[in-house]
Amino acid sequence: MNLTVEIGRLKLKNPVMSASGTFGYAEEFSDFVDLNKLGAIVVKGISIKPMEGNPPPRICETACGMLNSIGLQNVGLKKFLKEKLPYLNKLKTIIIVNILGNSISDYVKLSKTLEDSGIEAVELNVSCPNVKKGGISFGINDKMLAKLISKVRQSAQKITLITKLSPNVSNIPLFAKVAEDSGSDAISLINTIPALAIDIETWKPKLANITGGLSGPAIKPIALRMVWEAAETVKIPVIGIGGIMNAGDAIEFLLAGATAIQVGTGNFVNPGATIDILEGIEDYLKRKSINDIKGIIGGMNGKCTNNNSDN
Amino acid sequence: MSKNFRAKVINNFALNPRTFLLEIEPIEETIAPKPGQFYMIQPDSSYDPLLKRPFSYIRKSNGKIQFLCAIKGKGTRLMMNFHSNKIISMLGPFGNGYPIFKSNHISLLIAGGTGIASILSLSNEVQNKYLIYGARTRDELLLLDKIEELGDRFIVCTNDCSYGKKGMVDELLKDFISSHKDNINSIIIYACGPLPMLKAISKISAENNIKGFASLEENMACGFGACLGCAVKTKQGYQRVCKEGPVFPFKEIIW
């Protein structure tokens, strides 16, 4: 059975990746999964300087989902290269580093330094809703986004560039096209959806940051629609993210046109989720007598029939 | 040996209208816990509620693990209704646990409310010990049968004077310190309970130069260091309650 997929210059052994910010620096999951079996690992977002993150409380649960306002707490580029990368380099899978900055020059410096350190791919985080500067401000302005990606592309020419899009725009195809035209090798979507929860006894917001990003099964249908719209628009690979908990969810994204998928919040609930999903996809392909994963990518077809299966 | 395992519910009964005792038995091989560590328990296999909940264990014996659970919301209400033989999904044990010292000293265990669970996991592991336990009312003093064997080394109080001494555990701590003036340097405090209680105890121990450790509680999504949701402010910056904690030295915590 062929499970391999291509993202830019990368050849992934299968389409299952971890999502940034939900998988630590991978070592946190070594008790639970054989990391070498994953298609790729996207590590926690890295900025040039360490970031301490937002004050607690940082998370709260909502119906079929959760809000987080971690605020991109991370060890910073220097410590990442020194303390985290040696472990990641020992793994037999592709490492994708999610990067974030306050300015275009931050993104340029991060991607260039990582390229020079042997990293094969970066994911540009232009969609975090939980920081005041940078992040989402690039992801919701098409001209800024085009400029950011072009500058990164010019300086780091070998690295595979993935742009992680925000769901917080009214026109996903526009931003997907901007990413493609500016030199991005792939796009990933969606990041969390800005959201709010209030304690009705105290009348206070449930998060210290007031708002946070909604993730989990609650956002899956929205994510799926956006992934489908993006995949219909661009030729570069689309990586589907948003509420993927099991193989069935992952397959839906592949049918919508995603070349690969990322598991985020699902890792918190079941730290073995990535491998369970991978095995579930294999079982599904066997059951459907399909011997190549590419046989289902973008496979959604025809009109809705009235006998939907219950999945 | 897995930290991601299934378990069978052995026993589950109410201790008072807001608290229940849950006993489970893993049906897969698991790792032995250390005092002060915790487990994540999944309330339901649907996605609402989505996340597992953290609980300190009380004791592990004959392969069975006991938990004390307070009803806080949807997840714990579902857990309260776990029937015997139900198969549940769990993670753990996680966290650093209480540091146990070899040297000869007095272990002063202090618990408030459901904090008694974590303190009980420690009580069998330390020798020369005293226990101060407080709650708002008699009804909220839990598992007294398990701790009264300590005899006169067990001091209990309630805010409303419905059982034991009247007052808060920090007042009893002050009394304890004044009656142990001679060997104050050999006291080590281990505390678990509501944040204001821990804060008060930490202040008193700093004033008397007594070493102590607090087990903290915080919302967490994963329990094993990935989500960064359970951060607490310490002198080393934000640290994770699930990984660097839940037990922190008093002097490390920025209250």
Please give, rounded to a whole number of angstroms, the shortest distance from the CA of A100 to a CA of chain B.
17
| Poorest-pLDDT segment among A169-178, A186-195, B170-179 | B170-179
Superfamily of domain A5-53+71-195+216-301: Aldolase class I (3.20.20.70)
pLDDT digits 0-9 by tens, A190-207: 999 999 999 999 999 999
By C-alpha distance, the chain B residue nearest A72 is: B228
Residues of B in contact with A24 (CB under 8 A): 225-226
Q: Would you call B48 an interface residue with chain A, using a CB distance cutoff of 8 Å? A: yes
Range among A247-251, A307-311, B58-62 rated most confident = A247-251
pTM: 0.94
In the block, tokens 């555990």 appear at: B169
Are both B81 and B204 inside the same structural domain?
A: no
CA distance B255 to B253: 6
Q: Where are the domains of chain A?
A: 5-53+71-195+216-301
**Which of the residues A61, A67, A72, A311 would you substitute to probe the B interface, choosing the one with the greatest number of B C-beta atoms within 10 Å?**
A61
Q: Would you call A271 an interface residue with chain B, using a CB distance cutoff of 8 Å? A: yes
Share above pLDDT 90 across residues of chain B, in percent, rounded to a whole number? 75
CATH number at residue B58: 2.40.30.10
In a domain, B26, yes or no: yes
In a domain, B192, yes or no: yes
pLDDT at A132: 60
pLDDT at B182: 86
Does residue B2 carry a pLDDT above 90? no
Does residue A306 carry a pLDDT above 80? no
Q: Do B224 and A271 touch (CB under 8 A)?
A: yes
pLDDT at A202: 97
pLDDT band at A61 (very low <50, low <70, confident <90, very high): very high
Mean pLDDT over residues B47-51, rounded?
Answer: 96
More confident residue, B184 or B84: B84
pLDDT at B54: 97
**Which of the residues A59, A207, A214, A219 would you substitute to probe the B interface, choosing the one with the greatest number of B C-beta atoms within 10 Å?**
A59
pLDDT at A133: 63
Q: Do A29 and B47 touch (CB under 8 A)?
A: no
Q: How many independent structural domains does chain B possess?
A: 2
In a domain, B145, yes or no: yes
Are both B62 and B16 inside the same structural domain?
A: yes
By C-alpha distance, the chain A residue nearest B89 is: A270
Please give, rounded to a whole number of angstroms, the shortest distance from the CA of B156 to a CA of chain A.
31
In a domain, B100, yes or no: no
pLDDT band at B102 (very low <50, low <70, confident <90, very high): confident
Q: Do A56 and B231 touch (CB under 8 A)?
A: yes
pLDDT band at A129 (very low <50, low <70, confident <90, very high): low
Q: Would you call B13 an interface residue with chain A, using a CB distance cutoff of 8 Å? A: no
What domain range is B227 assigned to? 106-252
In a domain, B101, yes or no: no
Mean pLDDT over residues B79-84, rounded?
Answer: 97
The answer to whether B184 touches B177, Cβ cutoff 8 Å, is: yes
More confident residue, A3 or A301: A3
Q: Do A59 and B227 touch (CB under 8 A)?
A: yes
In a domain, B56, yes or no: yes
Q: What is the dihedral of CA B12, B14, B15, B20, to 10 degrees?
A: 60
The answer to whether A21 touches A275, Cβ cutoff 8 Å, is: no
Q: Would you call B3 an interface residue with chain A, using a CB distance cutoff of 8 Å? A: yes
Are both B163 and B83 inside the same structural domain?
A: no
Task: Assign A115 to helix, strand or coil.
Answer: helix
Mean pLDDT over residues B212-225, rounded?
Answer: 96
Q: Would you call B31 an interface residue with chain A, using a CB distance cutoff of 8 Å? A: no
pLDDT at A40: 98
Are both B53 and B138 inside the same structural domain?
A: no
Does residue A250 carry a pLDDT above 80? yes
Does residue B232 carry a pLDDT above 80? yes
Q: What is the dihedral of CA A83, A87, A89, A91, to 10 degrees?
A: -160
pLDDT at A131: 63
Q: Would you call B40 an interface residue with chain A, using a CB distance cutoff of 8 Å? A: no
Q: What is the 3-state secondary structure (H, E, C) of B104-173?
A: CCEEEEEEEHHHHHHHHHHHCCCCCEEEEEEECCHHHCCCHHHHHHHHHHEEEEECCCCCCEECCHHHHH
Share above pLDDT 70 across residues of chain B, in percent, rounded to a whole number? 100
| Poorest-pLDDT segment among A106-120, B61-75, B145-159, B192-206 | B145-159
pLDDT band at A310 (very low <50, low <70, confident <90, very high): low
Q: How far is CA B227 from the centre of its chain?
A: 22
pLDDT at B167: 80
Please give, rounded to a whole number of angstroms, the shortest distance from the CA of A128 to a CA of chain B.
15
Does residue B239 carry a pLDDT above 70? yes
pLDDT at B103: 79
By C-alpha distance, the chain A residue nearest B240 is: A56
pLDDT at B156: 87
Name the residue facing A217 among B4, B47, B231 (closest C-beta). B47
**The last residue of a domain, from among B41, B62, B94:** B94
In a domain, B198, yes or no: yes
Q: Do A60 and B219 touch (CB under 8 A)?
A: yes
Mean pLDDT over residues B9-37, rounded?
Answer: 96
In a domain, B83, yes or no: yes
Angle in degrees, CA A141, A144, A145, rounded to 5: 80
CB-facing half-sphere around the CA of A292: CA atoms within 13 A: 5
More confident residue, B154 or B110: B110
Does residue B65 carry a pLDDT above 70? yes
Are both B87 and B114 inside the same structural domain?
A: no
Q: Would you call B89 an interface residue with chain A, using a CB distance cutoff of 8 Å? A: yes
Mean pLDDT over residues A103-119, rounded?
Answer: 95
pLDDT digits 0-9 by tens, A10-27: 999 999 999 999 999 999
Q: What is the DSSP string of A47-99?
A: -SS-B--PPSP-EEEETTEEEE-----B--HHHIIIIIHHHHHHSSSEEEEEE
pLDDT at B44: 95
Residues of B in contact with A23 (CB under 8 A): 226
Does residue A173 carry a pLDDT above 90? yes
Please give, rounded to a whole number of angstroms, the shortest distance from the CA of B51 to a CA of chain A.
6
Residues of B in contact with A60 (CB under 8 A): 219
pLDDT at A90: 96
More confident residue, B22 or A137: B22
Does residue A258 carry a pLDDT above 80? yes
Are both B133 and B220 inside the same structural domain?
A: yes
**The last residue of a domain, from among B39, B74, B94:** B94
Residues of A in contact with B72 (CB under 8 A): none
CB-facing half-sphere around the CA of B205: CA atoms within 13 A: 25
Q: Do A265 and B50 touch (CB under 8 A)?
A: yes
pLDDT digits 0-9 by tens, B117-133: 999 999 988 988 999 99
Residues of B in contact with A269 (CB under 8 A): 42, 50-52
pLDDT band at B145 (very low <50, low <70, confident <90, very high): confident
Report the mean per-residue pLDDT for chain A. 94
What's the one-letter identity of residue A307? N
Kind and range of the H or E run holding A142: helix A142-155
Q: Is A64 a catalytic residue?
A: no
- Omega cis (within 30) before B87: no
Does residue A117 carry a pLDDT above 80? yes
pLDDT at A311: 60
Please give, rounded to a whole number of angstroms, the shortest distance from the CA of A144 to a CA of chain B.
30
Are both B246 and B135 inside the same structural domain?
A: yes
**The last residue of a domain, from among B38, B70, B94:** B94
Q: Do B238 and A268 touch (CB under 8 A)?
A: no
Mean pLDDT over residues B188-202, rounded?
Answer: 96
